[in-house]
């Protein structure tokens, strides 16, 4: 319950905004002929107050059923309950009415009011507008229905506002070409299946020594040639029209995850201990190899340039370059998965960056930045971890509560609640400080800095990270001498080396050498 | 004009009215803590009373003592403090935290000690993006100066051109009020 209380974002400001939105609603009521209920949501008055609610026709599967529609300034929102009743799947609503989950053919979609993020497996999608709750249940944008039913259910939607009609049609099943790649590195075999788009699918690992990808709805075209499989833990790979079967080496176990742009389904295959024979009718023993994940966040990107030097060197560019170098160095030193929040010059909301790390259940999160200050003399690297502002007493309460139980996995939050919980980082401050200290020590040594210590600041990007998280400022773009250095690939290498050394030294709480890989019970 | 716009303008109009009323209540002392002098009596400017915090190139805030008219309520004092920060430091080597074109918009002190400060600039529709040290120094120059001088202020909620923003200039969380940061203040 602590988490829920703290999760309500923004404290006092939020309350003021809520009052404002109630005021707007009251005025709207007084202003006259607003059809049906004008309803205030909790925040952002202009965006979250329905202009009016109405009933449209959901026209699909040869049936016509009424569906409640909330007309927002940014487009219509549709009743998720009606949609699921008519189009299939199951809808589960959390006890507080916040988290909503739709399951369709084994794929789960998580979303809730007040967040434009939806999670599909390990993927996070951004909606153009947030779902809004109310007396008629949660209403969601068309894009959410498309996300659920286009990819997984093969349905297409056409909304005719004039007719108030939402027409649903079934798209013809496509044949998706698959490409296959296998690498064997550091005791892990990695199989990458690449598709032109995310297919509707389910991974079945219930049989020991085998993993089966069931393609639902679509058909697949196997690759013309297959890679050689004479080493590593993948023995064989077979393609059917709607399934891909992986045969694993004796005793090996596979863990799958998804990557986007382009869409890839990845299997890490480990030489795990031979699983015990499962009793008939029971699920397999809950034991799975697990490779640790580090998420590197190159700061800024896209239209957000970040700081820039007088001669035009951009923070967003150097941050991405450093992130890529660091990824290579970490992968060479540690058996781990390293994921960049952005691997291109693209806009990425601050909250999404930590949410990506949360979804991947990453062990560590590091955000890379370049500094700038007043004048031109400031120089050197600085490492930050989150500071909880004393004026936000609830954040402090969360930190206090977190110090009682320090195991994040013992926290009974669902994934959705976790990604919506904007102060998740308050549970991990001690380990964040530890990591920040190691990083700053290595940077001080590499750059011969003397008086630099670890700093704290309320940085948005760190707020929601549900794991130890730090932000590194590598140098000052306001200092011409440092700009010259930051341009130099050798200097960039030195900086990345310093961070990699810190990660090698890092130990999670309890001194478990978690970053060295190994097995964890699930 | 659409209905939506109509509602919005009515809301803005009523809001301005409310702010004006609140400002009037403050000005007349009806809304603030009891004050020693009664309304209407001539007030002597209290001099040498304020400490302003200006950013230095060393990444710290530096104190500057100023004689500033401390009469009036929290709103007027905040307006004068922030205007002085924008006008810049007397000390060589220190910097003005905000662009010279910035002005002070509405100021509102809530009963919980949060001061809502709206900074306005037509030149910068959004706060100029910068590196985090500059951002931190700029924000806390204002926050420390206001919290340190205006009685009853526990934290400052920074707004820009009337909008509450996720960050002040790219990194720093301004979705909630920020309290003063003493560690940034230079001891020398
Ligand atoms: Zn930055």
Residues of A in Cβ contact (< 8 Å) with B157: 12-13
- Domain stops at, among A119, A147, A170: A170
CA distances from A256 to A206, A235, A364 (A): 13, 17, 20
Instruction: Provide the residue range defining the domain that includes A193.
Output: 175-274
Q: For residue A362, give the 3-state DSSP assignment.
A: coil
In a shared domain, residues A329 and A362: yes
In a shared domain, residues A129 and A199: no
Q: What's the CATH code of the domain at A161?
A: 3.30.457.10
Q: Do A478 and B131 touch (CB under 8 A)?
A: yes
pLDDT, average across residues A111-139:
81
Span from the CA of A107 to the centroid of ligand 1 (angstroms): 36
Tell me if chain A has a CB within 8 Å of the CB of B176. yes
Interval A302-358: pLDDT, tens: 999 999 999 999 999 999 999 999 999 998 888 889 999 999 999 999 988 998 898
**DSSP states of A180-243:** EEEEEETTEEEEEEE-SS---EEEE--STTEEEEEE-SSEEE--SS----SSSSEEEEEE-SSE
Q: Is the dihedral of CA B48, B51, B54, B60 positive or negative?
A: positive
In a shared domain, residues A210 and A267: yes
Paired strand residues for A104:
A107
User: Which residues 321-360 on chain A approach chain B with CB closer than 8 angstroms?
Assistant: 350
Structure tokens at A157: 């939607």
Mutation for A interface: B157, B171, B178, most A CBs within 10 A: B171
Report ipTM for this prediction: 0.74
Let me know if residue A369 belongs to a domain.
Answer: yes
- Domain stops at, among A246, A274, A302: A274
Q: HSE of B115 in the Cβ direction (CA atoms, 13 Å)?
A: 30
pLDDT, average across residues A56-66:
77
In a shared domain, residues A237 and A263: yes
Interval B105-149: pLDDT, tens: 999 999 989 999 999 999 998 888 889 999 999 999 999 999 999
What do you get for the CA distance between the two ends of chain A, in Å?
24
pLDDT at A186: 61
In a shared domain, residues A310 and A429: yes
Number of other CB atoms surrounding residue B167 within 10 Å: 20
Number of other CB atoms surrounding residue A353 within 10 Å: 24
Span from the CA of B57 to the centroid of ligand 1 (angstroms): 18
User: Which residues 169-228 on chain A approach chain B with CB closer than 8 angstroms?
Assistant: none
Paired strand residues for A493:
none
Tell me if chain B has a CB within 8 Å of the CB of A297. no
- Domain stops at, among A170, A190, A206: A170
Residues of B in Cβ contact (< 8 Å) with A375: 56-57, 93, 95
In a shared domain, residues A267 and A136: no
In a shared domain, residues A461 and A330: yes
Interval A272-303: pLDDT, tens: 643 344 344 444 444 445 678 999 999 999 99
Span from the CA of A300 to the centroid of ligand 1 (angstroms): 6
For residue B7, the chain A residue with the least C-alpha distance is A28
Q: Whole-model pTM?
A: 0.54
Residues of B in Cβ contact (< 8 Å) with A478: 131, 134
Angle at B158 (CA atoms; ends B153, B161), nearest 5 degrees: 135
- pLDDT grade for B8, boundaries at 50, 70 and 90: low
Let me know if residue A33 belongs to a domain.
Answer: no
In a shared domain, residues A99 and A244: no
**DSSP states of B43-76:** -PPP-S-EEEEEEBTTSSEEEEEE-----S-HHH
Helix (H) or strand (E) holding A394: helix A393-404
Helix (H) or strand (E) holding A485: helix A480-487
In a shared domain, residues A305 and A449: yes
Nearest to A392 among B6, B58, B176 (CB): B176
What do you get for the CA distance between the two ends of chain B, in Å?
59
Let me know if residue A37 belongs to a domain.
Answer: no
Q: What's the CATH code of the domain at A228?
A: 2.60.40.3500
Let me know if residue A63 belongs to a domain.
Answer: yes
Span from the CA of A292 to the centroid of ligand 1 (angstroms): 26
Structure tokens at B111: 């009963």
In a shared domain, residues A240 and A129: no
Tell me if chain A has a CB within 8 Å of the CB of B27. no
Structure tokens at A195: 């598709």
In a shared domain, residues A339 and A488: yes
In a shared domain, residues A336 and A479: yes
Let me know if residue A24 belongs to a domain.
Answer: no
- d(Cα A240, Cα A387) in Å, to the nearest integer? 53
Q: Please tell me the distance in Å from B132's CA to the nearest CA on chain A.
A: 6
Q: What's the CATH code of the domain at A351?
A: 3.40.630.40
pLDDT at A203: 83
Provide the domain count of chain A: 3
Q: Please tell me the distance in Å from A341's CA to the nearest CA on chain B.
A: 16
Rg (CA), chain B: 17
Let me know if residue A229 belongs to a domain.
Answer: yes
Residues of B in Cβ contact (< 8 Å) with A28: 7
Interval B17-64: pLDDT, tens: 555 544 444 443 333 333 333 333 333 444 557 999 999 999 999 999
Let me know if residue A207 belongs to a domain.
Answer: yes
Let me know if residue A157 belongs to a domain.
Answer: yes
């Amino acid at each position: 319950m602590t988490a829920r209380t703290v999760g309500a974002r923004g404290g006092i400001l939020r309350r003021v905004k809520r009052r404002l939105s109630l005021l707007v609603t009251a005025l709207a009521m007084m202003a006259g002929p607003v059809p049906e209920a004008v309803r205030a949501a909790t925040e952002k008055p202009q965006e979250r107050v329905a202009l009016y609610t109405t009933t449209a026709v959901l026209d699909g599967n040869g049936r016509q059923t009424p569906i409640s529609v909330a007309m927002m300034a940014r487009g219509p929102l549709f009743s998720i309950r009606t949609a699921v009743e008519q189009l299939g799947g199951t809808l589960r609503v959390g006890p507080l009415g916040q988290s909503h989950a739709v399951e369709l053919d084994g794929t789960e979609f998580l979303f809730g009011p007040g967040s434009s993020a939806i999670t599909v497996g390990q993927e996070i999608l951004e909606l153009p507008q947030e779902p809004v709750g109310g007396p008629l249940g949660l209403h969601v944008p068309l894009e959410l229905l498309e996300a659920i039913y286009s990819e997984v259910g093969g349905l297409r939607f056409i909304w005719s506002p004039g007719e108030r009609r939402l027409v649903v049609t079934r798209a013809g099943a496509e044949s998706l070409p698959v490409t296959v790649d296998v690498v064997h590195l550091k005791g892990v075999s990695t199989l990458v299946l690449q598709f032109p788009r995310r297919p509707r699918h389910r991974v079945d690992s219930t049989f020991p020594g085998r993993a089966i990808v069931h393609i639902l709805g679509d058909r697949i075209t196997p690759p013309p040639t297959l890679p050689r499989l004479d080493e590593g833990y993948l023995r064989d790979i077979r393609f059917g029209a709607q399934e891909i079967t992986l045969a694993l080496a004796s005793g090996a176990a596979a863990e799958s995850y998804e990557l986007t742009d382009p869409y890839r389904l990845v299997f890490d295959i480990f030489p795990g201990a031979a699983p015990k024979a499962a009793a008939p009718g029971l699920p397999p023993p809950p034991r799975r190899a697990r490779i640790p994940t580090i998420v590197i966040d190159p700061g800024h990107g896209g239209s957000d340039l970040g700081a820039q030097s007088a001669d035009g060197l951009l923070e967003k560019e150097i941050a991405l370059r450093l992130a890529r170098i660091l990824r290579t160095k970490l992968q060479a030193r540690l058996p781990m998965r390293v994921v960049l929040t952005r691997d291109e010059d693209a806009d990425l909301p601050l909250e999404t960056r930590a949410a990506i790390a949360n979804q991947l259940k990453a062990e560590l999160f590091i955000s890379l930045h370049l500094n700038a200050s007043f004048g031109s003399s400031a120089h050197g690297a600085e490492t930050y971890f989150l500071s909880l502002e004393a004026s936000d007493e609830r954040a402090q309460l969360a930190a206090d509560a977190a110090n009682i139980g320090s195991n994040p996995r013992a926290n009974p939050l669902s994934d959705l609640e976790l990604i919506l919980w904007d102060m998740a980082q308050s549970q991990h401050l001690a380990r964040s400080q530890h990591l920040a200290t190691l990083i700053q020590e290595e940077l001080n040594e590499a750059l011969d800095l003397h008086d630099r210590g670890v700093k704290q600041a309320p940085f948005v990007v760190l707020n929601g990270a549900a794991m130890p998280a730090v932000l590194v400022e590598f140098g000052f773009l306001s200092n011409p001498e440092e700009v010259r250095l930051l341009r130099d690939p050798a200097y960039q290498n030195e900086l990345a080396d310093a961070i990699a050394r810190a990660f090698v030294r890092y130990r999670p709480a309890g001194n478990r050498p978690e970053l060295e890989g190994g097995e964890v019970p699930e | 004009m659409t209905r939506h716009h109509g509602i919005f303008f009515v809301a803005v109009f009523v809001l301005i009215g409310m702010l004006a009323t609140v400002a009037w209540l403050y000005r007349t002392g009806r809304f603030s803590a009891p004050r020693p002098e009664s309304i209407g009596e001539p007030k002597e400017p209290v001099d040498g009373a304020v400490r302003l915090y200006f950013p230095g190139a060393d990444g710290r805030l530096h104190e500057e003592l100023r004689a500033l008219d401390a009469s009036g309520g929290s709103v007027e004092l905040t307006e004068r403090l922030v205007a002085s920060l924008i006008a810049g430091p007397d000390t060589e080597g220190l910097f003005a935290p905000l662009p010279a074109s910035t002005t002070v918009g509405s100021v509102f002190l809530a009963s919980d000690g949060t001061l809502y400060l709206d900074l306005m600039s037509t030149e910068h529709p959004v706060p100029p993006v910068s590196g985090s040290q500059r951002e931190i120094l700029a924000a806390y120059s204002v926050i420390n100066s206001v919290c340190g001088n205006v009685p009853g202020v526990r934290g400052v909620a920074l707004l820009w051109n009337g909008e509450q923003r996720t960050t002040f200039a790219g990194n720093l969380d301004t979705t909630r009020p920020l309290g003063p940061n003493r560690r940034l203040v230079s001891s020398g």
